[in-house]
A and B are shown apart, each in its own frame.
Chain A
Amino acid sequence: MRYLLILTLFCCSLAAYAQKVVFRADCNAKDVVVNNPFKVSFVLENSEVKNISFPKFEKDGFSVVQGPINESKYTNINGKSSSSENYVFLLAPKKVGKLTLGPAKVVTSRGKVLSTKSIEINSVASGKNSEAGNDNLPAGISGKVIYRMVPSTESAVPGEQVNVDMKVYTQLDLASVGMTLEPKSKQVDLLPLNYNDNETSVDVINGRQFASKTLYRFSFIAGSPGTVEISPSKIEFVQAYSSNPFSRRETLSVMSNTLSIEVKAFKNEPSTFSGAVGKFEMFATLEKTGINSDDFLNVVLTVSGVGDLKKISGIPIKFGKKGEKPFEIYPPKIVENLQETAVGKSGIRDFIYRLEPNAIGNFEMRPTFTYFDIELRRFVTIDTVIPVRVLQGKKVLGKSVPMESDSEAQKITLSFGEAVSKANWRKPGTPFYGSLFFWILFFLPIILFITLAASKVYLKKRYEIMVKQRALTKANRDLNENLKNALMHLTASDAPAFYQAISEAFKNFLGKKLKIPKAEMSKEMMAEKLEGLVDEDKIRSLTRIMKICELSVFAGQDNKQAMQLVYDDSTELFAIFTKTFS
C-alpha cells in the first residue's frame, strides 16, 4: 500500500512536471479614471515561486491601494493536475495619461527565470455624472447603474453572425440581477448563447469609472441588406441602502439602449463565393492520387471554423484547362459536426465527393472555397492543387485528355513490358563480394608468393651452410692427416719432416678457412687475417710456431722435447681455430 502511495505521488509529480510553466500578468481594465482602483494579477502556473519581484509601481505612476494578496490553487481533473500562484494588487493611477506598468519577474523553484509583459493603462480625468436623471432610478443612485447592449460589429454583411452582449456598468453593489424584458427584433431571430462572464472588468464612461459585467449574450445571423433594429432590454436588481441585513431594500429596474445595426450588401462578390461568412479553413483528403479507369476517386473536402457552415452547400472543383471535364463529379455526401458555443455557430463540415474518370492522363484538381472573412472584412479564397493520375484499366474510356501541360504528356514515351510467366527462385544469401571466402581467395596468391620466396631464401641459405660444412669437413680431414704425419715424424725424430708437416697443416687449414691464395700465404698474412677472430696471444703463438718451422729448414731443430712442445701448442691452436671457424 505504501509503495502504491509512493508510486501514485511519483506519477502525480511527473504529471505536474509535464504541465507548461507560465508566468503572466492579467489586468481587468484598459481605461481607468485617475486615482480609481483597478486589479492587476501576476499568475505563475505549474511551478512554485522561489523569488518574485514586482514592477516599480510608484515609479511607473501607480499607487498601491491593496496588495499583494497571495492565492494558491491546485486542481487535479482526471489525473491531469495544474497549479497556480496568484499575486493580486489593486492599483490606482496617480496622473492622467498613458501609463505603462513594467514587467514582473519570477525565479521558479527549478531556477527558471520568467517575466511578464508590460501593461498599458489609459488614465483619464474624472468627469461629471451626466447620466443622472436619464434613467428611472431614484436620486442618489441615478446614473450609477447603466445597462447597455453592445454589438460585436456596428455594420454587418448578409450571413454574418452578430453577437450582442447585454452589459451592466455599475458603481453600486448590486444583488439579484435578472432580465425582465428580452431584446427583440422584427428583422432577425435573436438567439441567446450560453455565455458566462466570470470576471468583472473596469470601464470608463464619460470620465466615470464603472465595474462592468456581461450578463447575457444574444446572437443573430444578418439577413438581407438593410437595418436591423433591436428593441431595448430591461433588467431588475435589488439595491440595499446599508450593509445591515434588516435595512431598507428596494427592487429597481433599468432599461438598455435601442440598437441599430446596418447590414450592407457585398461589393464585388466573386463567382466562387460559397455564401459562408466567418473565419474558416479548408483542407482536402484523398485516399490516393492515382486510380485506373475502372475506379472512382473519393475526395473529402473539409471546412472548419466559426460561422454559419450550413450556408456552404458545396465546394466547386475545377480541372486544369477551361472546359475540360476529365471527371464526372457527383453531388457530395455531407458529414457535419456543428456546435453552438459562446462565440456562436462553429464546427466542421465534410463534403465527400465521388469522381468518376472520363479520360486517362494526369490532371490537376483545384477545389476552391471562397468566404467572407469577418476579421479581414473582405473575401478570402482558399484553393489547392492536387495532382491526380488516371491510368488505363479494364474500362476503355472514350477519349484521352492530355495533362494540364502538354509537354509533360509527351514525355511519357516509354512503355511497360509484359508480365513474365517463369520465375527463378532462390533464397537470398550473403554477398560473395566482401565475404570471408572472398578475402581468403584474394590473399591466397599473395600468401603463395610469399611462401615461395621464403622457401627459396631458406633453401639458398641451407645450401650455403651445407657447402660451408663440406669445406670445413675437408679442411678438418686434411688437418688430421697433416697432424697424423707430424706425429709420425715426431715419433721417428725426423725434425725437418715434422716441422714441414706442422707448417703445411697450418697453411692448408688457415688457407682454406681464411681464403688466402697460396701465392700470398705467409705467417704475416695469416696473422693479419686472424686479427679480430682470435686472441692476440694465439696469433703470437702461431707466428712463433711458423717461425720455428721456417728456421728448422736452415738449422737442425732435432730436440725431441722442443718438437713435442711445438706439437702440443699446434694441436691446442688447431682446437681453437676449428672451434672459431665451425
Chain B
Amino acid sequence: MKLSNFFISLFLLPLGLLFAQDEDYKSNFEKGLKAYNNKEYASAVKYYETSLSTAYRSPEAYNNLGLAYFKTADIGKAILSFERALRMRPGYTSARKNLKAAQQYIDTKLKKSGGFWLFSFWGSIGLMLTSFSWSLLFFLLFFSASAAFLLRYLKLNERLSFVGLRLGIIFLVLSFICFGFARSAASAQFDKNLAIITSVRAGVRTAPGLDGEDIMIVSSGVKVKVQEEMGDWFKVRLDNAVVGWVPAKTLEKI
C-alpha cells in the first residue's frame, strides 16, 4: 500500500466508524421495536439499551425502553427510562402518561411532605417546555422590553415615550417569569442528583454501612435526591422528607 493511500485510509476510518455507529443505533432501535411488537420483551430491552449506549439519545427510544422494561416486570428500570425520556423532552406527553402508569406499581407509596402548593404549581408549568424553549422566550421578551425602554430613553416623541415605558415594564415582568420557568425546567432537566431505586428493595439506613440502623425499606421505582456520596453509599432524601443512606448499587441516577 502506498503511503498516501495509508494516510487517506487513516483519515477515512473514523469517518466510517462514525457513520457505522450512526446506522447502528438506528438499526438497533428498529430491532427493539420489532422485538417488542413480537412480545420478545427481554430482547427489546437489549436492543434499546444497545441503541442508547452510543453518543446519541432519543426520548422516544427511552420511552420504548421503559415500556419494554415494564413488560419484563422491572418497574425501577421502567420508571428510570420514562424519567430519562422526560428529561430530554419535558413536554413529552406519552412518556409522562407511561411514567404515571408505571408509578402505580411502586410498592412504597410516599406522601410528599412540606411543599407549598405554589411551588409545585410553578414546577409543573416549568415542565411544560424545555429549559431551552423557556430561555428563548425569556430573551424574546427581554429584548422587546429593552427596545421599548430604548424608545422611552430616546424620547423621539411624547406618545412613543409613553407607550415605550409601559410596554417595557410589561415585557420585563413577563421575561423574568419566563426566566424563572427556564431555571425550574433546567433544574428538572439537568439535575444530576435525581435518582431512581432500581433494586427490588433498598434499606434506608441511618449511617453509611451495615452498622447503620434501618429507617425504612423502599421499593424499586422510588425517586430520590442524592445529597452526598461516600464510597459505595449515597445519602438520599425521599419525597416524605426522610433522609438516609442507601447502597450505591441500589439506585441509578436519571
Q: Measured between alpha carbons, how far is A389 from B94 in the docked complex, in Å?
A: 24
Nearest first, the 7 A-B pairs at minimum CB distance are A290-B73, A445-B146, A423-B60, A423-B58, A414-B101, A433-B186, A420-B60
Cβ–Cβ contact A412 & B104, under 8 A: yes
Q: Which of B128-136, B156-164, B242-250 contacts the other chain?
A: B128-136
**Which residues from A are CB-within-8-Å of B201?**
289
Cβ–Cβ contact A414 & B39, under 8 A: no
B65 to chain A, nearest CB (A): 10
**Which residues from A are CB-within-8-Å of B139?**
441-442
Cβ–Cβ contact B101 & A416, under 8 A: yes
Known: A419-B36, A431-B189, A442-B142. A425 touches B58 (CB 8 A): yes
Decide if A79 is an interface residue (CB 8 Å cutoff).
no
Q: Which of B2-10, B25-33, B114-122, B224-232 contacts the other chain?
A: B25-33
Cβ–Cβ contact A431 & B190, under 8 A: yes
Cβ–Cβ contact A432 & B135, under 8 A: yes
**Which residues from B are CB-within-8-Å of A442?**
139, 142
**Which residues from B are CB-within-8-Å of A453?**
153
Q: Which of B61-119 contact A (CB under 8 A)?
A: 61, 63-64, 67-68, 70-75, 88, 94, 97-98, 100-102, 104-105, 107
**Which residues from B are CB-within-8-Å of A422?**
60
Decide if A449 is an interface residue (CB 8 Å cutoff).
yes
**Which residues from B are CB-within-8-Å of A390?**
73
Q: Measured between alpha carbons, how far is A417 from B67 in the docked complex, in Å?
A: 8
Q: Measured between alpha carbons, how far is A442 from B185 in the docked complex, in Å?
A: 18
**Residue positions of B touching A, CB distance < 8 A:** 25-26, 29, 33, 36-37, 39, 41, 55-61, 63-64, 67-68, 70-75, 88, 94, 97-98, 100-102, 104-105, 107, 131-132, 134-135, 139, 142-143, 145-146, 149-150, 153, 182-183, 185-186, 189-190, 200-201, 219
Cβ–Cβ contact A426 & B57, under 8 A: yes
Known: A411-B104, A424-B58, A431-B190. A448 touches B132 (CB 8 A): no
Known: A416-B102, A433-B183. A449 touches B29 (CB 8 A): no
Chain A: residues with Cβ within 8 Å of the partner, total of 43
- For B57, give its contact among A292, A425, A441, A449 (CB under 8 Å): A425
- For B71, give its contact among A292, A411, A432, A438 (CB under 8 Å): A292
Decide if A393 is an interface residue (CB 8 Å cutoff).
yes
Q: Measured between alpha carbons, how far is A78 from B250 in the docked complex, in Å?
A: 36
Excluding A387-B107, A423-B26, 13 further A-B contacts by CB distance (< 8 Å) are A286-B200, A290-B75, A411-B104, A416-B102, A420-B63, A424-B58, A424-B59, A427-B55, A431-B131, A433-B185, A438-B135, A448-B146, A449-B146
**Which residues from A are CB-within-8-Å of B182?**
433
Digit string of A434-472 for contact with B (CB within 8 Å is 1, else 0)? 100010011001001100110000000000000000000
Name the CB-closest residue of A to B68.
A419
A412 to chain B, nearest CB (A): 5
Cβ–Cβ contact B39 & A394, under 8 A: yes
Digit string of A285-300 for contact with B (CB within 8 Å is 1, else 0)? 0101111100100000
Q: Measured between alpha carbons, how far is A433 from B187 in the docked complex, in Å?
A: 10
Decide if A242 is an interface residue (CB 8 Å cutoff).
no
**Which residues from B are CB-within-8-Å of A432?**
131-132, 135
A197 to chain B, nearest CB (A): 36
Cβ–Cβ contact A433 & B101, under 8 A: no
Q: Measured between alpha carbons, how far is A423 from B85 in the docked complex, in Å?
A: 11
Name the CB-closest residue of A to B70.
A416
A435 to chain B, nearest CB (A): 9
Cβ–Cβ contact A425 & B134, under 8 A: no
Q: Measured between alpha carbons, how far is A416 from B104 in the docked complex, in Å?
A: 11
Decide if A240 is an interface residue (CB 8 Å cutoff).
no
- For B142, give its contact among A423, A426, A445 (CB under 8 Å): A445
Name the CB-closest residue of A to B105.
A389
**Which residues from A are CB-within-8-Å of B88?**
428
- Indicate the member of B37, B71, B146, B185 with the most A CB atoms within 10 Å: B71
Cβ–Cβ contact A417 & B41, under 8 A: no
- For A433, give its contact among B64, B94, B135, B150 (CB under 8 Å): B135
**Which residues from A are CB-within-8-Å of B59?**
423-424
Digit string of A56-95 for contact with B (CB within 8 Å is 1, else 0)? 0000000000000000000000000000000000000000
**Which residues from A are CB-within-8-Å of B219?**
387
Name the CB-closest residue of A to B143.
A445
- Indicate the member of B39, B57, B73, B105 with the most A CB atoms within 10 Å: B73
**Which residues from A are CB-within-8-Å of B185?**
433
Q: Measured between alpha carbons, how far is A390 from B105 in the docked complex, in Å?
A: 11
A-B contact pairs, 9 of them (CB 8 A): A290-B74, A389-B73, A391-B71, A424-B59, A425-B26, A425-B58, A427-B57, A433-B186, A448-B146
**Which residues from B are CB-within-8-Å of A425?**
25-26, 56-58, 61
**Which residues from B are CB-within-8-Å of A288?**
73-74, 200
